[in-house]
Structures are given as C-alpha cells and as structure tokens.
Amino acid sequence: MISCARHLCETLKTRSAPSRAYATAGDAGKRRLNLPVDFGKSPLLHHTSATFQNVPDLPQHGKTTKLNLYQAVNAGLRAALKEDNKVLCFGEDVAFGGVFRCTMNLQSEFGPDRVFNTPITEQGIVGAAIGMAAEGAKPVVEIQFADYVFPAFDQIVNEASKFRYREGATGANLAGMVLRMPCGGVGHGALYHTQSPESLFCHIPGFKVVVPRSPTQAKGLLLASILESQDPVIFMEPKILYRAAVEEVPDELYTLPLGKAEVLKTGSDLTMISYGRPLYTCMAAIEAVEKASPGLSVELIDLRTIFPWDRQTVLESVKKTGRAMVVHESMVNYGVGSELAASIQEAAFLHLKAPIKRLGGWTTHTGLAWEKFIFPDTTRIYDGVLELMDY
C-alpha cells in the first residue's frame, strides 16, 4: 500500500505543470500576444525631439530633457510654482517628495509655506484646498493613492464641484485647484492600490478629469490644469507609467489643451478610443492585428481629458470608420466606455457597421493574484478588433 502511494505521488509530480509565482515573467516564447510592452520602442513616446513636429501643441524648438512620468510631473509642478506665487503644493509626505517622488526637492526650493506636509486626512486636505482656492490661491494637492480619495468624496461632490455654480454672477471659482492622485494597476497592488475611480468623478459636473499617457502629456496637461483651467481638475496619474514611460520633454513652460483628444494613429476601418496606460496595450494589439490582416487600418484616439470629453474628434472618427471600441482599465460596468458608447450610437448610429464594443476591467475587486487577468490585455483587444471586423 505504501509503495503504491509513493508511486502515485511520483506520477503526479511528473505530470503536474511547473508552478510559478504571480509576479514572475514566465516563458515569453510560448506567448503570442501578451508580451510586456517595450516602452523603449513604443511609438507613443517621443524617443527624440524630432517627433514633436507630429504634435502641434508641443514646443517645436528649444532644449529638451529625457524624463520619466514622475519627473515630468515634478518639472510641471516646479514650473507652476515659479510662474505664479499663488501656487501651493501639499499632501501626505509631499514635503519629503511623496511616495512616488513627484514633489521631490520642491520644499527646499520654494519653502515650507508653499510646499508642506499635511496630516493623514483626505477630507481635510481637499477641504483646505477648497478654502484656499476660494480665496484666490492655486492649491495642487496630492492624494497618496486614488484608492484613498473616498473619504474626501463629500468635499469633492458637495462642495468643490458646486462652488462655481453657487457663486453665479459673482464670477468666483476654484480655478487652479488640482487634485493629483496616482491610479491604476502595477501588477501587485491588490485591493487598495489598483483602483481607477475616474468614472465616479465623471458623473459630477464642475470638475475636469484628466489622465495623461506620457511625460510630455503629463507636464503640459498639468500646467494647463493649474494655470489655465477655470474649473478644478482631478488629475489622475497612471502610476505604472511613473518610471516605465520615458521620453524627451521640453524644458520650457508649455500647456496642452484640456478637453481636446489626440489622434495618435490614423485609420480607416475601426476607431479605438482609450486613455492612460491601456493606450500602450491598444497599440500593441493594433500592430499585431494589422500585421496579421494586411489592409486593415485602425485609428487610435487618446481622450486625455475624459470629462468633458472631445465629442467632435471621436464622432468624426467613428463616422469615418464605421466601427468603435472603447478600452479602459477601470471596471467596465457603468464606466467611461458606457458613456462613450451611448453617445456614439445617439450621434452616429447610421454610420455604424457593427455594435460598439467596450473593453474594461472585469466587474470584480482586484485580488493580488488576479490583477493580470482582470485588466484588458493585448489578446482581448486583438480578439475584439476581429469580432468587430467580422460582424
């Protein structure tokens, strides 16, 4: 009996597939599509300043520096603090540089009256920012993770978003108030460090909601949010890109338009709309599906500002291609994709050749071991393109 048991155990060991921890890379040679993004070669990043000519809003001349996304945020904050002495930066650990180093060295340069730490109280941080902005300051506050913003929801929804409306003809507003928050998955964030709650804020009028995809975008959009917007801005930074996305960034102060999408790749058969980190996955899927299907041409649009979103750019593209897919990392239910899909079918129904497709995170909490299975990957997007083309 003991001999049989030993034999069975040895047989099971032989037949069992080797296991690996969730964070290990596995054998890339056995995967066809879901390969890690090579940010060093991504066409979505400016590996040299020569590609600035493709983006009219970027400075075309002058010095540039290769920065990752957190360094670009830091550069944007430094430029804003220099440009306007009404700009303030504060939040938990901000004086020390913050968890992701976005505010590093700012206090030593601009002093503790303009860059300072706060207690651990998100509601207090946002409430203080509202009061300061109401008196003419431009507070740029950091919520350490987007997952932690919920205690401040009352201040955001019931106070900040209604302020300009309540003031009416007085013209008072909260211009320059920006709530920065790292968002999205990183591969090991689990329940409380992976959330992307942008759709919750998009339901509320009174705020702009911005999600940059790259260092040049982060600096320009952040400066526009601080120095130009007449409404408060929720500025959501995909934290996996803080160090992964590296590109040339203009040294000078510049702004990029809020509320304006950018066509990253033109196409004629399908319009793919996304923002933030998933754009890199979308591009990987597009390159693969176009290679496998000669003649297929997919247009890729970065919303940049997801509320209010650029209806004109999106609708013109969909009317041209006749097919639309919206991709985002946040849960698919009641998400940004739902709003875009409804708006597209209302305004471009007769131009559609196939149903509008939404790809988002599955409607579940993001457990530590399951994150990579929950967010849209290259294969899901690739298959989605084929489904729309075969409809």
Tokens of 365: 């909490």
193 is an active site residue: yes
Of the candidates 333, 231, 321, 209, the residue with the CA atom closest to the CA atom of residue 273: 321
Give the single-character DSSP code of 41: T
The CA distance from 295 to 353, in Å, is: 17
Q: Which of 122, 142, 247, 299 is catalytic?
A: 122
Q: How far apart are CA 217 and CA 193, in angstroms?
A: 23
Annotation marks residue 122 as catalytic: yes
* Angle of the 69-83 helix axis to the 215-227 helix axis, nearest 10: 30
Alpha carbons 293 and 290: distance in angstroms, whole number: 5
Set 46, 92, 142, 193: catalytic member: 193
Q: What are all long-range contacts of 97-103, with beta carbons under 8 Å and residues at least 24 apart?
A: 98/142, 98/144, 99/144, 99/145, 99/182, 100/70, 100/182, 100/239, 100/242, 101/70, 101/74, 102/70, 102/73, 102/74, 102/77, 102/142, 102/180, 102/237, 102/242, 103/74, 103/77, 103/142
Query: What tokens were used for 271?
Result: 């319009």
Catalytic residues: 122, 193
